[in-house]
Structure 1
Amino acid sequence: MTVVRCAIYTRKSSEEGLEQDFNSLDAQREACAAYVLSQASEGWKQVGETYDDGGLSGGTLQRPALQRLLDDVKLGKVDIIVVYKVDRLTRSLLDFAKLVEAFDAAGVSFVSVTQSFNTTTSMGRLTLNMLLSFAQFEREVTAERIRDKIAASKARGMWMGGLPPLGYRPDGRSLAIVEEHAELVRSIYRRYLELGTVRLLADALAHEGVMAPARQTEKGFAYGGRGFSRGQLYHLLKNPIYAGKISHKGKVWDGNHPAIIDQVTWDKVQAQLADHTQGARIVRKRSGSLLAGKLFDAGGTFLTPSHTTRGTRRYRYYVSQAGQDREASFATQIRRIPASEIEPVVITALATALTQPLELLQKAQIPLSLDALPSLGSKCAAISARLLSDQAVIRQLLNRVVVHRDRIELYIAAAGLADLLSMPRPHDPAHTVCRTVRVRLRQDRKVGRLVEETGAAAISKPDPRLIRYLLKARSWWQELAKGELDITTLAKREGVTASYMTRVVRLQFLSPKVTEAILAGKIREEAGPRALIRTDAIAPLWGDQERQYLPR
């Protein structure tokens, strides 16, 4: 008899009751095991591996046990997946479609022991989709109730949990002042008003050896005990909790907790911060080199920041230090990369990595407790939102960036990620997580251009020279179409050769799709201004033009 290997998957949304000797996961597993045993005559046999996700929502697929199960499915270790109910597997129709696709690809089926339906018939599939629709509806309604309760509670000034700010400790649904720490907070506010900028304040605190007090969560995880970064000081100075307020989604209410900072001091600090914010942003936008000291070529050579100025515009680059070494593989062909191309690619790659927090934490070897799961997604989203405005966050996340000919490798610092998430550091502080970005380098007059596998530029940026050519082509063609001037006369009037005008006017006959791609910056990287005004550049058929110039 053929053995049918059965994997039992169980899940519970909340942690309540999991500490009991016989909990909901045990009950689900026992019911599924009994069902598998009842099918022993068909060759069904339970595998030894257990797949239990306790305290995890069914609204996401980022669950440790489920990911292990999917890995085993890909490896061909499972024939049938047995669940107590379909909503234990997922409560999302979109996620369920992904799971079914993965199961079908591996030749794996699944069984719900309490719901009888046959997915081989149209009625069975309809029944399944209806069950999943109700499961998803229930999850979304529950989430709405929780969000509404949190918003209503904060509107009444209640503290709804999380890490308490420096100077406070939790006190039921409120906060109580820790006087020793509160005095440090008052001192920071006073020093900021005296010194005038957060940069001077951070330097002064570092010079004096002032550290954030070491604290512990209720679960025993330690945090603090380090110097104050500028980002921490900005957050501390802007946090309305210190003025006795509670904020939620841009709204601020009077809190039930006592204030550490009086209203007059709070208003002065906010006014001073507002006066300096815009200036700081302008300086950072003009001069910051995001990857300074962290960018290397494939041979391990530094790429250092540099710039050139043309008129009033400043162009930043990262230049290889092997520029004079003709034997260096990187330097012999491409010596510099525009900062405006590689920096957005790096920021996008970091933001993408933060959308999969469980996978990232697992690879970073950062210990994850169940009580940290509910806030993990929001913390990662907050870090991702800061990537565009706070260089310190990016430099804390990045260990190094290595540029190869066919890819870029980002090495994320596990310790820096743990600090940003206020989580315990991994056992190996130097551990990194490698993320690969599939873009390649293309030579353009000794400047490296980043190109996707489709042939499009990694950064969608319209070429102003190409747009000027399109405008000239349209204008000149309108003149010629009137029939009052021939091309030789018009070229003489415009101060160009007839040959040049002929090649430019041909751009008027580009495919509309190619024209739209030029205006959107989505044209193939090699289709530059020089390439498009060659004598044989424009094919007569639009289809040929699109195959030649649009990304694959």
Structure 2
Amino acid sequence: MKKTRCAIYTRKSSEDGLEQDFNSLDAQREACAAYVLSQASEGWSLLPDRYDDGGLSGGSLERPALQRILADVAANKIDIIVVYKVDRLTRSLLDFAKLVEAFDKAGTSFVSVTQSFNTTTSMGRLTLNMLLSFAQFEREVTAERIRDKIAASKAKGMWMGGTPPLGYQPNGRTLAIVDDHAAIVRNIYLRYAELGNVRVVAEQLVRDGIRSPDRISGAGRRFGGRQFTRGQIYHILKNPIYVGDIEHRGETYDGQHPAIIDRALWNEVHKRLKSNLRGMRCARAANPSPLSGKLFDHDGEPLIPVHACKGKVRYRYYVSRSLQHHGAIAGTIGMRVPAREIEAQVTELLAGLFNDAATLAGKLRVSAADYPALVARCDTIAQDLRQQKTALPEFADQVRLLPDRIDVEISTARLAAELNIRGSECTPTITLSADVRPKRSGGIVRLVHSDGRSPEASRPSSSLINLVAKAHRWWKQLTQGECDITELARIEGVTASYVTRVVRLAFLSPATVGAILQGRQRTGVTTTGLTIGRDIPMLWSAQANQLV
């Protein structure tokens, strides 16, 4: 008689009673083992391995014992899976379909010892699906009851578990104040009420050596003991727990726990938080920052993408990780580079690489047979890059922003795959360099060429052109005697001092004016710089040295 290998699977949703000598899992296994023994005449034999999932829901397949039994099924070690009831295996119709597919593929069947049906017939399959539908319905109803109970309990101000906020510890269905921790919370609220700036509050906490205290979660995990981040401070300032309230799904209820912060201080802090909100939320960009995870400075520190919104305009930057994560620490040095500038330089470098197909073929050791296809593919890629029809290619492994240049490191293997050619005996990487260096301008690092030109030299500034045109128009009005400076200022709605500072731009050399019209002015030459605090030399050659 053929031997039929049987494995018993047991499951219990909660952990209640699992510590007992004889628990629900043991009862299920005993009933299943008796059933297997009753089928000994048919060649059934019980495998010694135990597959028990205690305290795990049947709404998911992510259960250790279930995954082990599925692995053994796939390895053809099990012929029949025996369960006490079908819902012990799963309570989801979709998951059950996946299990049946896996069982059928391995030639394994399953048996429920308390439910008799034959899945080889249409009626048997209908009966099984009905049982599973009721099991899934029971699970969903139970979940709804739990959610309703939590909502009703929070409406009464009860604490319903989880990690307690800083300053509290669990005390049954409420919270008790931890005096040492509560003092830190009050300190943060008082500092913000005085300063009105979370960044400054974080700087002061670092300066005074105030850190988040060490705590242990209910699961025994230790956390805390670090400097307060701005996100943590915002969370503390916005948490209604500290004023004695309980929040649930956007609704706030009077809590049963004592307050750490009085209502007057809470209202003052939230008034300042609301007044400090600027701009509006911007939708997530459709295209992520292409240099994310690839851009590094000369010390090897990554620059991470960030953005800011002003009105409907989105400004993107790449910021040193230390500056972004530890910006509250005084003296932190880092970079903040406009994303459009650095991305444009990298794109231009890559496009230039594909424009010189002959040099690229030499670097990749391309055969003569592949050269025509390489040329055609290079033209397409270069055009797509410049027209921004494609994202930054995967073969661009790393971009390094060095003090005197920008380096782009390219994987030759991935580059050859992109070009659909066979590169042989070539170096693992190719490094491209651009004669563009970072230059700090206030809190932002701008990119400039070694001669001081902006990389965006081909883009004339309309504001600068309009300012120079205004200077010539005003000078013409003054020289023709149409009005004096005071009258001109009144007509234009500006001050006489501003008219004087603008009019002097009418004496710029033709070469300097031509450079502004062509966008060849130096980085940092702006309308503000030309009208405020900049002495413009009268000598035309000196003007060119300073402005062009």
If the length of structure 1 is used for normalisation, what is the TM-score? 0.54
Instruction: Compare 136-145 and 281-290 and name the one that shifted more.
Output: 281-290
CA displacement, residues 423-472 of structure 1 (integer Å, 9 cap, x when unaligned): xxxxxxxxxxxxxxxxx9799xxxxxxxxxxxxxxxxxxxxxxxxxxxxx
Paired-residue identity, %: 64
User: Does the Cα contact within 8 Å between 1:304 and 1:321 map onto a contact in 2?
Assistant: no
* Offset, 1:14: 0.6
Within a 5 Å distance, the mapping from 1:323-334 to structure 2 comes to: 327=363
Looking at structure 1, the residues matched to 62 and 246 of structure 2 have their Cα atoms a distance apart, in angstroms, of 32
Residue of structure 2 in register with 1:45 after alignment: 45
Residue of structure 1 in register with 2:86 after alignment: 86
SS in 1 for 2:17: coil
* Offset, 1:290: 9.1
CA gap 1:15/1:76 in 2 versus in 1, 3 angstroms: same
CA displacement, residues 162-203 of structure 1 (integer Å, 9 cap, x when unaligned): 111110111111111111100100111122233323233333
Say whether residues 1:131 and 2:128 are aligned partners: no
CA displacement, residues 42-89 of structure 1 (integer Å, 9 cap, x when unaligned): 232223332211111111122222122222222322221111100001
Looking at structure 2, the residues matched to 94 and 188 of structure 1 have their Cα atoms a distance apart, in angstroms, of 50
Within a 5 Å distance, the mapping from 1:249-328 to structure 2 comes to: 249-279=249-279, 292-293=292-293, 316=340, 317=343, 319=346, 327=363
Looking at structure 2, the residues matched to 268 and 340 of structure 1 have their Cα atoms a distance apart, in angstroms, of 50
User: Does the Cα contact within 8 Å between 2:282 and 2:314 map onto a contact in 1?
Assistant: no
User: Does the Cα contact within 8 Å between 1:11 and 1:56 map onto a contact in 2?
Assistant: yes
Instruction: Compare 277-286 and 206-215 and name the one that shifted more.
Output: 277-286
Residue of structure 2 in register with 1:208 after alignment: 208
* Offset, 1:306: 12
Looking at structure 2, the residues matched to 253 and 306 of structure 1 have their Cα atoms a distance apart, in angstroms, of 36
Residue of structure 1 in register with 2:7 after alignment: 7
Amino acid at match of 1:147: R
CA displacement, residues 205-255 of structure 1 (integer Å, 9 cap, x when unaligned): 234332211112345332222222222222211111001000111110000
Residue of structure 2 in register with 1:22 after alignment: 22
Looking at structure 1, the residues matched to 76 and 19 of structure 2 have their Cα atoms a distance apart, in angstroms, of 33
Looking at structure 1, the residues matched to 12 and 192 of structure 2 have their Cα atoms a distance apart, in angstroms, of 48
Amino acid at match of 2:224: G
Amino acid at match of 1:14: S
Residue of structure 2 in register with 1:217 after alignment: 217
Amino acid at match of 2:213: P
* Offset, 1:93: 1.4
CA gap 1:250/1:40 in 2 versus in 1, 3 angstroms: same
User: Does the Cα contact within 8 Å between 2:163 and 2:218 map onto a contact in 1?
Assistant: no
Looking at structure 2, the residues matched to 287 and 94 of structure 1 have their Cα atoms a distance apart, in angstroms, of 34
User: Does the Cα contact within 8 Å between 1:295 and 1:403 map onto a contact in 2?
Assistant: no
Amino acid at match of 1:155: A
Looking at structure 2, the residues matched to 118 and 171 of structure 1 have their Cα atoms a distance apart, in angstroms, of 53
* Offset, 1:273: 2.4
User: Does the Cα contact within 8 Å between 1:242 and 1:259 map onto a contact in 2?
Assistant: yes
SS in 1 for 2:276: helix
User: Does the Cα contact within 8 Å between 1:168 and 1:175 map onto a contact in 2?
Assistant: yes
CA gap 1:247/1:110 in 2 versus in 1, 3 angstroms: same
* Offset, 1:156: 0.5
Instruction: Compare 9-18 and 222-231 and name the one that shifted more.
Output: 222-231
* Offset, 1:6: 1.8
- Tell me how many residue pairs correspond in the alignment: 345
Amino acid at match of 2:199: R
CA gap 1:43/1:281 in 2 versus in 1, 3 angstroms: same
SS in 2 for 1:132: helix
SS in 1 for 2:57: coil
CA gap 1:69/1:182 in 2 versus in 1, 3 angstroms: same
Looking at structure 2, the residues matched to 287 and 74 of structure 1 have their Cα atoms a distance apart, in angstroms, of 42
CA gap 1:239/1:291 in 2 versus in 1, 3 angstroms: farther
Residue of structure 2 in register with 1:414 after alignment: none
CA displacement, residues 255-278 of structure 1 (integer Å, 9 cap, x when unaligned): 011111111221222232233344
Residue of structure 1 in register with 2:173 after alignment: 173
Residue of structure 1 in register with 2:116 after alignment: 116
* Offset, 1:40: 2.5
CA displacement, residues 297-342 of structure 1 (integer Å, 9 cap, x when unaligned): xxx99898799xxxx887754949996996589xx97798999998
Residue of structure 1 in register with 2:226 after alignment: 226
Residue of structure 2 in register with 1:34 after alignment: 34
CA gap 1:24/1:284 in 2 versus in 1, 3 angstroms: closer
CA gap 1:342/1:15 in 2 versus in 1, 3 angstroms: farther
* Offset, 1:34: 2.0
CA gap 1:213/1:301 in 2 versus in 1, 3 angstroms: closer
User: Does the Cα contact within 8 Å between 2:18 and 2:24 map onto a contact in 1?
Assistant: yes
Residue of structure 2 in register with 1:191 after alignment: 191
CA gap 1:197/1:303 in 2 versus in 1, 3 angstroms: closer
User: Does the Cα contact within 8 Å between 1:212 and 1:224 map onto a contact in 2?
Assistant: yes
Residue of structure 1 in register with 2:101 after alignment: 101
Residue of structure 2 in register with 1:69 after alignment: 69
**Could you say what the CA RMSD is over the residues aligned between the two structures, in angstroms?**
4.3
SS in 2 for 1:191: helix
Say whether residues 1:248 and 2:248 are aligned partners: yes
SS in 2 for 1:175: strand
SS in 2 for 1:150: helix
Within a 5 Å distance, the mapping from 1:373-392 to structure 2 comes to: none
If the length of structure 2 is used for normalisation, what is the TM-score? 0.55
User: Does the Cα contact within 8 Å between 1:304 and 1:320 map onto a contact in 2?
Assistant: no
CA displacement, residues 334-391 of structure 1 (integer Å, 9 cap, x when unaligned): 7989999989x9xxxxxxxxxxxxxxxxxxxxxxxxxxxxxxxxxxxxxxxxxxxxxx
SS in 1 for 2:78: coil
Looking at structure 1, the residues matched to 99 and 150 of structure 2 have their Cα atoms a distance apart, in angstroms, of 33
Looking at structure 2, the residues matched to 192 and 340 of structure 1 have their Cα atoms a distance apart, in angstroms, of 47
Looking at structure 1, the residues matched to 94 and 284 of structure 2 have their Cα atoms a distance apart, in angstroms, of 41
Looking at structure 2, the residues matched to 117 and 305 of structure 1 have their Cα atoms a distance apart, in angstroms, of 59
Looking at structure 2, the residues matched to 146 and 61 of structure 1 have their Cα atoms a distance apart, in angstroms, of 21
Within a 5 Å distance, the mapping from 1:474-485 to structure 2 comes to: none
Looking at structure 1, the residues matched to 306 and 225 of structure 2 have their Cα atoms a distance apart, in angstroms, of 37
* Offset, 1:123: 1.4
Amino acid at match of 1:20: Q
Looking at structure 2, the residues matched to 142 and 260 of structure 1 have their Cα atoms a distance apart, in angstroms, of 36
User: Does the Cα contact within 8 Å between 2:13 and 2:57 map onto a contact in 1?
Assistant: yes
* Structure 2 gap segments, 5+ residues each: 308-312, 316-338, 354-359, 366-376, 395-408, 421-548
Residue of structure 1 in register with 2:504 after alignment: none
Looking at structure 2, the residues matched to 99 and 115 of structure 1 have their Cα atoms a distance apart, in angstroms, of 18
SS in 1 for 2:8: strand
Amino acid at match of 1:68: R
* Structure 1 gap segments, 5+ residues each: 346-401, 408-439, 444-552
Say whether residues 1:163 and 2:129 are aligned partners: no
Amino acid at match of 1:121: T
User: Does the Cα contact within 8 Å between 1:322 and 1:328 map onto a contact in 2?
Assistant: no
